[in-house]
Structure 1
Amino acid sequence: MITLKNRYLTVLVNEFGAELTSVKSSDGTEYIWQADPDYWGRHAPILFPIVGRLKDNEYTYEGKQYEMTQHGFARDQAFRIVDQTDSEVTLQLTQSAATLVKYPFDFVLTVSFKIVDHELRVSLSVKNPDSHDLLFSIGAHPGFNVPLQSNDGGFGDYFVRVAPKQIYRRIPLKPPYSDPNDPKELDLTKPLTLDHELFNSDALVLSLNGQQTTVMLSNTLDDHGIALSLKDAPYVGIWSPYPKQAPFVCIEPWWGLADTTNATGQLVDKFAINRLTGGRTFNSGYQISFF
């Protein structure tokens, strides 16, 4: 386990999956969901090379069929540390015999975590070392404790606010698939009070159109919470498992979507897939402020 620390935060990152597993403030507040398997046995997995689920857990590329389960394989692979200081770590994953069976592409996936004062900055990079196009999706899936402290009330005392305040285009899920051809509206001009029933059809998926967006999770009883900021992500998912009354919420930056209800199964036709030409690098990420 990798430890990053400054005067405000102590952050733990697991080399397996390059997964953020803990963020504690100097007063002992634990912000990250602690992976109780009765609800959801993960903390904050990296989603690569797909986001969500493929139809029948399979796809076809250049005439050959491949199998891949939900959210891809990166979350279940050992990354290697390429650089580390007291406040920053960079981890990397490349193709292997095991990944090529599921995904016939060479790639260099780099994930960096850096703490600056009360903020954790997460960088995501995908490099195409080959001459052929690289087709991929990528995302993050951090879970946050709700409540953050025992005296912070319950799930319904928390709310989500989104900036800019506006009515967002919401992409409905017909679990486990997405339906971008039947968009809905979600009024986020005012705070959205948490209720487990919000997630009775899986995640709330907002289309951001690449605009800079901040999603804040806080409560009505004290000043504790988080603010997750995105610069260019096309989508963000807000999720808690249903019908379980789970004491956490995930705020998920996505550069990709689950297969659509009418997906052809051809990877080149996959909705919201990213195409990276030979030698090019995709760079993005997000920041979380803890208060």
Structure 2
Amino acid sequence: MTITISNQSITAKISTHGAELISFQSEGIEFIWQADPNHWDWHAPILFPFIGRLKDNQYTYKGKNYSMPKHGFIRDCQFDILAMTNELVILTFSSNEETLKLYPFEFTLNVKYEIWGEGLRVHFNLKNTGPEEMIFALGSHPAFNVPLEDHLTFDDYYFSFLPSKCRTTIPLEEHFVNFDKRTLGQTNTYIRLCHDLFSNSSLIYETKGLNAFMIESEKSIHDITVVYKNFPYVALWSPYPKEADFVCIEPWFGMTDTTNSTGKLEDRLGMNRLASDETFETEYSIIIH
């Protein structure tokens, strides 16, 4: 089922399958990638309870082995509508017998999409409904059309950053992060887009406090900004060597497996812990012009 929310200037469409944002439009321009299966057949999936890859797609917890697909399973789950107005929708999903086979924790995840002005706020409310502490990762993977106008090209755009400062970057080695080789990344100036920029997959940065990551072009008045506060990581990604007309800005509370991962959930880098009956909340916004 597809849900539409809108105001006088922008329209967003959200699927109940995975609570995924599938369209965000203003002035006839589509800002969200339309899931061409020849390149990448998602729009803006939610990542939970893991982010990225696990070695051999498996992990252990309390001595038991579990399988887990890349980026977790929530993007393939069917959500229910909890509340809805013209400019807001709240979707909800709770753990069940099938999810417990993959992930041994009980939870309820509510995702709220709310339009305000020229922006869309995406709010996550995760409650641990089980009897023990829950270990989890949570993030988002929105893909944005680049170029936004037919007369422009991918290379006409660039990333810019606020605050404009260097951020620690974490390199990938064969899809896994090498945390010991992190260095300073030059996010104190703009980074011109080109497909070769992603030749080693994602660019992953550590972030603190309030951050804004922007996709802009000197040849257009239209741009995209992803704003968030206190997400510890963000990834920038576009397919390579297969070239596609989109780029992702992904705020993460979590991380893909490390090159020296033990496979134990308790040891996994970037995981978060939530006590029984406690709630974790976070949000980010997409602003378009």
Q: TM-score, normalised by structure 1?
A: 0.98
- Post-superposition CA distance 1:225-256 (Å, at most 9, x none): 11110111000000000001110000000000
1:206 and 1:52 map into 2 onto residues whose CA distance is 14
Look up the equivalent residue of 2:184 and give its one-letter code. E
In structure 1, the gaps of 5 or more residues are none
SS at match of 1:156: helix
Is 1:165 the counterpart of 2:172? The answer is no
Is 1:215 the counterpart of 2:208? The answer is no
1:149 and 1:125 map into 2 onto residues whose CA distance is 35
Q: Equivalences for 1:25-36 in 2 at 5 Å?
A: 25=26, 27-36=27-36
* Residue number in structure 2 paired with 1:2: 3
Q: Give the percent of matched residue pairs that are identical in Structure 1 and Structure 2.
A: 42
SS at match of 1:181: helix
- Post-superposition offset of 1:90: 0.5
- Post-superposition offset of 1:131: 2.5
Is 1:113 the counterpart of 2:74? The answer is no
* Residue number in structure 1 paired with 2:24: 23
* Residue number in structure 1 paired with 2:187: 188
- Post-superposition CA distance 1:123-165 (Å, at most 9, x none): 01211112300010010000000001112x1111000001111
Is 1:143 the counterpart of 2:159? The answer is no
Larger mean Cα displacement after TM superposition, 180-189 or 232-241: 180-189
SS at match of 2:181: coil
1:175 and 1:123 map into 2 onto residues whose CA distance is 32
1:176 and 1:90 map into 2 onto residues whose CA distance is 33
1:238 and 1:19 map into 2 onto residues whose CA distance is 19
* Residue number in structure 2 paired with 1:58: 58
Look up the equivalent residue of 2:25 and give its one-letter code. K
Q: CA RMSD in A?
A: 0.8
1:23 and 1:97 map into 2 onto residues whose CA distance is 34
1:175 and 1:163 map into 2 onto residues whose CA distance is 30
- Post-superposition CA distance 1:164-189 (Å, at most 9, x none): 11111101111321111110221122
SS at match of 2:180: coil
1:147 and 1:124 map into 2 onto residues whose CA distance is 29
2:129 and 2:153 map into 1 onto residues whose CA distance is 48
1:46 and 1:230 map into 2 onto residues whose CA distance is 15
Q: Equivalences for 1:1-291 in 2 at 5 Å?
A: 1-25=2-26, 27-151=27-151, 153-208=152-207, 210-291=208-289
SS at match of 2:113: strand
- Post-superposition CA distance 1:3-60 (Å, at most 9, x none): 00100101000000000000110x2000000000111000000000000011110000
Q: How many residues in Structure 1 have an aligned counterpart in Structure 2?
A: 288
2:189 and 2:108 map into 1 onto residues whose CA distance is 41
SS at match of 1:101: helix
2:179 and 2:67 map into 1 onto residues whose CA distance is 24
- Post-superposition CA distance 1:64-93 (Å, at most 9, x none): 100001000000010111001110000111
Q: TM-score, normalised by structure 2?
A: 0.98
Look up the equivalent residue of 1:104 and give its one-letter code. P
In structure 2, the gaps of 5 or more residues are none
- Post-superposition CA distance 1:197-237 (Å, at most 9, x none): 111111000101x3210001111211101111011100000
Larger mean Cα displacement after TM superposition, 104-113 or 184-193: 184-193
- Post-superposition offset of 1:117: 1.2
1:3 and 1:229 map into 2 onto residues whose CA distance is 22
2:111 and 2:134 map into 1 onto residues whose CA distance is 18
1:73 and 1:88 map into 2 onto residues whose CA distance is 25
1:178 and 1:230 map into 2 onto residues whose CA distance is 23
- Post-superposition offset of 1:288: 0.9
Look up the equivalent residue of 2:198 and give its one-letter code. F
Look up the equivalent residue of 2:250 and give its one-letter code. E
1:128 and 1:146 map into 2 onto residues whose CA distance is 38
SS at match of 2:209: coil
